[in-house]
Amino acid sequence: MGSERHTNRRWRPLRAVALLGCGALVATGCASMPDSGEVHRVDASQRADADAQVRVFGVPPRSGEQPNDIVKGFLEATTSDEVDFKTARLYLTEEASKNWKPFSRTTVLQDGPIPRTDVPAGEQTARGEGATAELSGKQVATVDQKQAYAPGGGAYRTTVHLTKVGGEWRIDVPPDGLVLGKADFERIYRSVNKYYFARTDPDEKAAGAQKEVLVADPVYLRRRIDPLTSTVKALLQGPTQWLSRVVGTTFPRGTAVVDDTLSLDDSNGLRVRLNDRAARVAAPQCDRMAAQLLYTVQDQASAKISRVTLARKDGSELCVLKPGEAAAYAPAGLRTHSEHQYFVDSEHRVASLSDGSDEPSRVEGPFGDGSVQLGAVGVDRSERFAAGVSLDGRSLYVAPMSSGAEQGEARLRSSAKRERDALTAPSWDGNGNLWVADRDPDRPRLLRLSAGTGKPEEVEVPALGDGRIEGLRVSSDGVRIALLVTRDGHTSLELGRVERTETRGGEVSLLVRDLRSVAPQLQHVKAASWAGSSRLVVVGTEAGGVQQLQYVETDGSSSNTPTLPGINDVRAVAASEDKNKPLMAHSSDGIVRLPLDANWKLVTRKGSAPVYPG
């Protein structure tokens, strides 16, 4: 990221144009963009750290440029803010320009692609006369054609072929898609949460089960290319591949936006005209479509959306939805606001702490009166019930948090001989189901108790292999689960997709599929908690590094995540999906809390296992 990068990465000037006074998504009252002036050199560090409202444009090829300059100029032009990469295509042959699909794949490299035109003859492609250049670098991620981000390391290497057209060198075989440096990628792209409905759970019988719940599906879109319109169009493309098996859209197949450009009106209302595919939807379906739009756009807007209006192609109204009306479809974690945080006190009883108080108090019921000594606790999202794991880790109890309630018999027992091999801390989804893992080496299992009190049913995790689940947190929507998995002496944070299938006999089986690492830079993860619709907070260490407390997105990226103040020796962490709630942690100092825009504050020097409901 230092001088070597500036030596190898920035070869020619680009035109930078400043746009002042424009919001990230809602742009009103902006000055017109100048279309003339001098060309100024902008190096990587300047462009990455500059104001987000600076737009960068490439420079066309000059007469007589050699293959090395053509390749470098093309790569530079692909980092510009042009809508259609018009300048980048000038470096391609006519046929290559027609066939090149820049968004088929985006490869993100740590320090950008390094071109080399002195490729040995034995490594060149057999394309007759011409020249071959090699691009290489350290790959950190890819973005697919649906804009889904996936972290992935390793060496990157590809070749580019050039030929002469009218006496000038041009690229006839460009790289697959875009190849960008990490700094350029973060400047050009922004993370956007699209929202889709969780598929109905056929076995859901719990009281208060949330049948229509929006689930966040993060993608990366270009930051300065009509962000409002591109966000809506991305939503209409449907969910990303990883999430598509457990969520669905209410927009009819083939629905598209009629208008070329969308904008908010003077009262921050959004009106979207749709093609004929959506012309005959009924009012309830239209409301759900509008809810998907509202939450997707509101997640990115610099102003609060006042309403969403969906209309037919001819302008006639389909439906209007306001934020208060959309609340019925909100992401599960935002539907009910937790009133308290919880932890296990020094006497192994459950204590609670309200947002406005610094004094913890014991909860009512058997988990607060000491009927059983606890090592870990999970509180359901209604804050009426709790699940406690006994101090020795072998027994799971479920009981109301109310005066006079009884502890009852253990709902689950582990046969593990050691506490560290017994039950993990439990976690509740938004439908009132309880999840826990048994780490018994002789019979490791992931289990779910329907409605918190049902018979423990084993959930298969095909991709787990010889790994062991050390901890878990299930999302409020119940279709995603974060697992701490130990393999080969390392513990990683992995996200799984919860799939439900109904057999012919009417029975429902559960599987957690397609585990993917969401914090690949950390080799030893200590704890994690959901901290938003598509964000987790994680405690871990890199190879040979010190412990870190940081936010990560569910796709494995770290875009737009705030830096957290340092804290010593964190052993557990708790967060709410409501980002306005404070973080909690168990550190060497005790139970601490991090209010918004403040530093860590000590709650009590004695305690452990902090949790939010969920």
* For the chain, percent of residues with pLDDT exceeding 70: 87
Pick the closest to residue 256 from 238, 242, 269 (CA basis).
Answer: 238
**Long-range contacts, stretch 390-396, CB < 8 angstroms, 24+ apart:** 391/348, 392/419, 392/422, 393/419, 393/420, 393/421, 393/422, 393/423, 394/419, 394/422, 394/423, 395/423, 396/423, 396/426, 396/436
With respect to residue 160, please indicate whether it lies within any of the assigned structural domains. yes
With respect to residue 263, please indicate whether it lies within any of the assigned structural domains. yes
**pLDDT on residue 15:** 54
**pLDDT on residue 210:** 55
Identify the weakest region by mean pLDDT among 44-58, 302-316, 378-392, 554-568: 44-58
Give, in degrees to the nearest 5, the angle at Cα 201 between 378 and 451. 35
Q: What is the mean pLDDT of residues 214-234?
A: 95
**pLDDT on residue 54:** 66
- The answer, yes or no, to whether residue 312 has pLDDT greater than 90, is yes
Please tell me whether residues 54 and 140 are part of one structural domain.
yes
Q: What is the pLDDT confidence band of residue 337, given thresholds at 50, 70 and 90?
A: confident
Number of structural domains the chain divides into: 2
With respect to residue 104, please indicate whether it lies within any of the assigned structural domains. yes
With respect to residue 210, please indicate whether it lies within any of the assigned structural domains. yes
SS3 track for 571-592: CEEECCCCCCCCEEEEECCEEE
- Please answer whether residues 397 and 388 qualify as being in contact, where contact means their C-beta atoms are separated by less than 8 angstroms: yes
CA dihedral 515, 521, 525, 531 (to 10 degrees): -70
Return the amino acid letter for 562: P
Please tell me whether residues 110 and 181 are part of one structural domain.
yes
Q: What is the pLDDT confidence band of residue 11, given thresholds at 50, 70 and 90?
A: very low
Average pLDDT, the chain: 87
With respect to residue 505, please indicate whether it lies within any of the assigned structural domains. no
- The answer, yes or no, to whether residue 382 has pLDDT greater than 50, is yes
CA 590 – CA 602 distance, rounded (Å): 7
**Which helix (H) or strand (E) segment is 297 a member of?**
helix 283-298
Q: What is the mean pLDDT of residues 167-181?
A: 96
Please tell me whether residues 283 and 214 are part of one structural domain.
yes
Please tell me whether residues 212 and 144 are part of one structural domain.
no
Please tell me whether residues 246 and 152 are part of one structural domain.
no
- The answer, yes or no, to whether residue 430 has pLDDT greater than 70, is yes
Q: What is the mean pLDDT of residues 271-284?
A: 97
Please tell me whether residues 149 and 27 are part of one structural domain.
yes
**pLDDT on residue 559:** 65
For residues 91 and 202, the model is more confident at 91
With respect to residue 353, please indicate whether it lies within any of the assigned structural domains. no
CA 294 – CA 531 distance, rounded (Å): 21
Residue ending a domain, choose from 157, 190, 223:
190
Q: pLDDT for 101-121, tens place per residue?
A: 999 999 999 999 999 876 554
With respect to residue 427, please indicate whether it lies within any of the assigned structural domains. no
Identify the weakest region by mean pLDDT among 179-183, 256-260, 502-506: 502-506
Q: What is the mean pLDDT of residues 184-212?
A: 76
- The answer, yes or no, to whether residue 87 has pLDDT greater than 90, is yes
Structure tokens at 93: 């042959």
**pLDDT on residue 306:** 96
Q: What is the pLDDT confidence band of residue 69, given thresholds at 50, 70 and 90?
A: very high
The CA R_g of the chain, rounded to the nearest whole Å, is: 27
Structure tokens at 87: 């300048």
Q: What is the mean pLDDT of residues 222-231?
A: 93
Q: What is the mean pLDDT of residues 473-492?
A: 95
For residues 501 and 451, the model is more confident at 451
Structure tokens at 492: 């990683």
**pLDDT on residue 363:** 96
How are the residues of the chain apportioned to helix, strand and coil, as percentages rounded to the nearest 5? 15, 35, 50
**pLDDT on residue 35:** 47
**pLDDT on residue 122:** 44
Q: What is the pLDDT confidence band of residue 470, given thresholds at 50, 70 and 90?
A: very high
Please tell me whether residues 67 and 149 are part of one structural domain.
yes
**Which helix (H) or strand (E) segment is 448 a member of?**
strand 445-449
Residue ending a domain, choose from 283, 299, 332:
332
**pLDDT on residue 580:** 87
- The answer, yes or no, to whether residue 45 has pLDDT greater than 90, is no
- The answer, yes or no, to whether residue 44 has pLDDT greater than 50, is no
**pLDDT on residue 544:** 85
**pLDDT on residue 53:** 56
For residues 46 and 342, the model is more confident at 342
**pLDDT on residue 8:** 38
Domain with 204, as residue range(s), is 194-332
Residue ending a domain, choose from 299, 332, 365:
332
Q: What is the mean pLDDT of residues 200-208?
A: 50
Q: What is the mean pLDDT of residues 194-198?
A: 96
Q: What is the mean pLDDT of residues 420-431?
A: 96
Please tell me whether residues 84 and 210 are part of one structural domain.
no
Please tell me whether residues 88 and 44 are part of one structural domain.
yes
Strand order in the sheet with 590-594: 572-574, 583-587, 590-594, 601-604
Please tell me whether residues 150 and 225 are part of one structural domain.
no
Give, in degrees to the nearest 5, the angle at Cα 441 between 435 and 446. 15
β-bridge partners, 55 = 17
Please tell me whether residues 209 and 169 are part of one structural domain.
no
With respect to residue 97, please indicate whether it lies within any of the assigned structural domains. yes
Please tell me whether residues 21 and 47 are part of one structural domain.
yes
Q: What is the mean pLDDT of residues 119-142?
A: 74
Q: What is the pLDDT confidence band of residue 392, given thresholds at 50, 70 and 90?
A: very high
- The answer, yes or no, to whether residue 526 has pLDDT greater than 60, is yes
Q: pLDDT for 359-369, tens place per residue?
A: 999 999 999 99
- The answer, yes or no, to whether residue 227 has pLDDT greater than 70, is yes
- The answer, yes or no, to whether residue 25 has pLDDT greater than 60, is no
